[in-house]
């Protein structure tokens, strides 16, 4: 058995952490331990000034000229290229646009069109609901069949679908449990029967060393406001592998996806590259915020960030085991860090009230029904001592039973 840890030992880990200086790139409230970057990333310090410049100078003074003079128009492509560097893709394969849900709709219909005659969409039981809502709607619209199976049954289901399989749609890291899928293995399994794979990178882009090209991934979408820190409702992104760019068609044919948007022709001709996945005018202020937020990754090695995320998760689980035994918690996440993203999910029958009491003490995670307390470990700003203090605070909440207060049991609209 390992000897008990001390807070001073963890403070030394922070002192020696090569990523420790990255914390200074963020505006973090005094006295708050923020463990919800897997839901909404923290604010990058330089974003407010950049957005103010865009509002006051570029919009206020430059007016419509700023589409050209301030570089607004090519922002989706610039941001896509910056994200591509974080997810193992080529710059011309990624563009920032729309929301994750809208982009998933595009790529699933695109996948069905790339595989005519194949009607099966294969998904995961327990995937983020909107992904399954979108997939169900696509299946209904396209006359396809949506099959959802348990995570451990995926490869068998792929083989069983055989030449009926059009596309597998999965989230790389499960939003509840944090389970990390084998991207290379599942993609290869789908390709063996002639199917495609569309990955949702909402819980992996910006925290794991994703390798889309190395894994021969066909299509992917992702979120700009979690580990990429782009702000609430930040633009999402879409990836199309180079070999599919000339054939994939977006089901939403908007003018920014046209080969010549400012020719204003009546007939639609898709752009030859990734721009064909665009639809309408980009939300420039949100684009500006996301682009500036990505500067927080300057000089960061994703493999190093991954190692820290794994270590933070392991530490959290160890401290929960040591300090919270007897309080009714379970660990829903894989204990093997190699099979887990940058989050740990605990279970408790009173999880919602416990999380509200924890937040009231300045430790911010979130809750997912029916019984999941989620804790995200964004390695750019979460410290080892934060994990110690978070678990100590959780122990205090449980020992005092303060979570039983009526105020903590009243459900809010956003959990």
Beta bridge partners of 120: 145, 165
- Among candidate residues 366, 374, 381, 384, the one labeled active-site is 374
Cα gap 349→329, rounded to integer Å: 8
Nearest CA-CA partner of 377 in 16, 61, 21, 42:
42
Helical H segments across 4-149, by residue range: 7-16, 47-52, 66-69, 75-84, 100-114, 129-142
Q: Tell me the C-alpha distance between 277 and 362, whole Å.
A: 41
- Residue 180 DSSP one-character state: B
Examine the residue annotation and report whether 200 is marked as an active-site residue of this protein: yes
Burial 204-236 (b: 16+ CB within 10 A, else e): bbbbbbbebbebbbbbbbbbbbbbbbbbeebbb
Q: How many CB atoms lie within 10 A of CB 199?
A: 28
Is residue 374 among the annotated active site residues?
yes
Strand, coil or helix: 343: strand
Find the catalytic residue in 115, 226, 276, 308. 226
* Residues linked to residue 147 through DSSP beta bridges, in sequence order: 122
Q: Quickly count: other Cβ atoms within 10 Å of residue 87's Cβ.
A: 26
Do 302 and 208 meet the contact criterion of CB atoms below 8 Å apart? yes
318 is an active site residue: no
* Integer Cα distance of 217 and 183 in angstroms: 8
Other Cβ atoms within 10 Å of 82 Cβ, number: 20
Beta bridge mates, 167:
121, 196
**146-169 burial: b if 16+ Cβ within 10 Å, else e:** bbbbeeeebbebbeebeebbbbbb
Q: Which of 26, 225, 329, 377 is catalytic?
A: 225
Three-class secondary structure of residue 267 per DSSP: coil
Task: Give how far the C-alpha of residue 39 lies from the chain's centroid of Cα atoms, to the nearest Å.
Answer: 8
The dihedral sign for the CA sequence 268, 196, 214, 291: positive
Residue 182 is among the residues annotated as catalytic for this protein:
no
User: Is residue 128 annotated as a catalytic residue, yes or no?
Assistant: yes
For the chain, the residue count is 415
Catalytic residue among 36, 200, 218, 386: 200
Q: Is 382 helix (H, G, I), strand (E, B) or coil?
A: coil
Q: Give the catalytic positions in this structure.
A: 128, 200, 225-226, 374
């Amino acid at each position: 058995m390992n000897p008990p840890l001390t807070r001073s030992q963890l403070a030394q880990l922070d002192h020696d952490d090569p990523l420790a200086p990255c914390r200074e790139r963020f505006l973090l409230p005094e006295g708050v331990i923020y463990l919800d970057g897997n839901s909404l990333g923290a604010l990058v310090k330089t974003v407010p000034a950049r957005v103010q410049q865009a509002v006051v100078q570029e919009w206020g003074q430059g007016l419509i000229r700023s589409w050209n003079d301030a570089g607004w128009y090519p922002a989706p492509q610039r941001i896509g290229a910056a994200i591509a560097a974080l997810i193992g893709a080529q710059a011309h394969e990624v563009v920032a646009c729309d929301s994750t849900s809208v982009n998933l709709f595009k790529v699933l219909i695109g996948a069905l069109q790339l595989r005519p005659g194949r009607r099966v969409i294969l998904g995961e039981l327990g995937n983020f609901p909107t992904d399954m809502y979108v997939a169900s709607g696509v299946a209904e619209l396209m006359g396809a069949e949506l099959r959802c199976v348990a995570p451990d049954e995926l490869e068998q289901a792929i083989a069983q679908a055989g030449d009926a399989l059009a596309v597998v749609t999965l989230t790389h890291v499960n939003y509840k449990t944090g389970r990390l899928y084998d991207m290379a293995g599942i993609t290869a399994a789908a390709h063996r029967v002639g199917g495609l794979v569309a990955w949702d990178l909402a819980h992996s882009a910006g925290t794991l060393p994703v390798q889309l090209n190395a894994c021969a991934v066909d299509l992917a979408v992702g979120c700009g406001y979690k580990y990429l820190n782009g702000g609430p409702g930040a633009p999402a992104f879409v990836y199309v592998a180079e070999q599919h760019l000339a054939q994939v068609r977006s089901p939403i044919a908007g003018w920014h996806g046209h080969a010549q948007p400012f020719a204003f022709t009546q007939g639609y001709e898709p752009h030859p590259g990734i721009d064909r996945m665009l639809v309408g005018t980009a939300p420039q202020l949100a684009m500006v915020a996301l682009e500036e937020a990505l500067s927080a990754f300057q000089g960061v090695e994703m493999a190093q960030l991954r190692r820290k995320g794994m270590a933070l998760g392991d530490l959290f689980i160890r401290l929960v085991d040591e300090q919270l035994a007897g309080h009714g918690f379970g660990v829903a996440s894989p204990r093997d860090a190699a099979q887990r993203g940058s989050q740990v999910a605990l279970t408790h029958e009173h999880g919602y009230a416990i999380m509200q009491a924890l937040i009231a003490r300045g430790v911010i995670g979130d809750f997912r029904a029916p019984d999941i307390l989620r804790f995200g470990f964004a390695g750019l700003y979460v410290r080892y001592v934060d994990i110690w203090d978070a678990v100590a605070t959780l122990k205090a909440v449980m020992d005092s039973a303060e979570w039983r207060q009526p105020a903590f049991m009243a459900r809010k609209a956003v959990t």
